[in-house]
Amino acid sequence: MADRPGAWIAAVGTGIALLTTDGAVEWLDRPEDRTPVAGRMNDGVADATGRFWAGSMAYDGAHGSGSLYRTDPGGTVVRVLDGLTIANGPAFTTDGTTMYLADTAAGTILRCRVDPVSGDLSGGPETFARLRDGEGGPDGMTVDAEGCLWVAMWGAGAVRRYHPDGRLLHTLGVPAPHPTSVCLHPK
């Protein structure tokens, strides 16, 4: 948030908060406090315009109880998608027009069109990739300079790279059974 230099935005507990350099927590909203099933926040990421996107999930993993929230630069928190189970790894293309979102429990990676000016989703999400049982669950993600999606595979000890058309290009084994996110180093 531009008017709060030095503050960090975080998905924590049941909501979105600003964390200040002196350790104070300033809640922007706690939307999971108002849901019928007790839940918590999960993965979050900022888009190129400074909006913060974060998913949620029910503590008990109840099917369809998770949501995706967007925090606009002014601090307003908006629920933009619901009916998810474990919302993970929002990731954006460099132009900000496409967002990928994992529903780990469903073994699904969704693709959503995003209006980069308003942050609104254009139409509903479409299935980008569906994983089979035993392949692990899609978790944190990032998009590389070529527009390919890298996905941490919880429970599979791997990271996958997908072409923008959905083709699996590469699976990279990692020395951890539950990778949770992907960070790429620029060349």
Locate the domains of the chain by residue range: 8-173
Note whether 138 and 129 are within 8 A (CB).
Answer: yes
* Residue 187, pLDDT above cutoff 80: no
Q: Confidence band (pLDDT; 50, 70, 90) for 97?
A: very high
Phi, psi of 33 (to 5 degrees): -70, -20
Average pLDDT over residues 139-161: 97
- Better-scored residue on pLDDT, 181 or 186: 181
Average pLDDT, the chain: 94
**pLDDT of 133:** 86
| Burial label, 2 (beta-carbon count in 10 A; 0-12, 13-18, 19+) | exposed
> Is there a contact between 80 and 66 (Cβ–Cβ < 8 Å)?
no
| Mean pLDDT calculated for residue range 97-104 | 97
What pLDDT digit, counting tens, does each position of 2-32 carry?
677 789 999 999 999 999 989 899 999 999 9
b/e sequence 60-84, b meaning 16+ C-beta within 10 Å: eebeebbbbbbbbeebebeeebeeb
* Topology (CATH) of 8-173: Neuraminidase (2.120.10)
Average pLDDT (163-186) is: 95
What's the predicted TM-score (pTM) here?
A: 0.94
- Judge contact between 18 and 28, C-beta under 8 A: yes
- The DSSP secondary structure of 154-170, one letter per residue, reads ETTTEEEEE-TTS-EEE
- Mean pLDDT across 61-74: 95
Distance (Å, rounded) from C-alpha 56 to C-alpha 47?
A: 18
Residue 1 confidence class, pLDDT cut points 50, 70, 90: low
Q: How confident is the model at residue 143 (pLDDT cuts 50, 70, 90)?
A: very high
CA distance 136 to 153: 5
Cα–Cα distance measured from residue 48 to residue 33, given in angstroms and rounded to the nearest whole number: 29
**The two structure tokens encoding residue 40:** 């918590």
| Both tokens assigned to 18 | 């600003």
In the prediction, which pLDDT does 123 show?
86
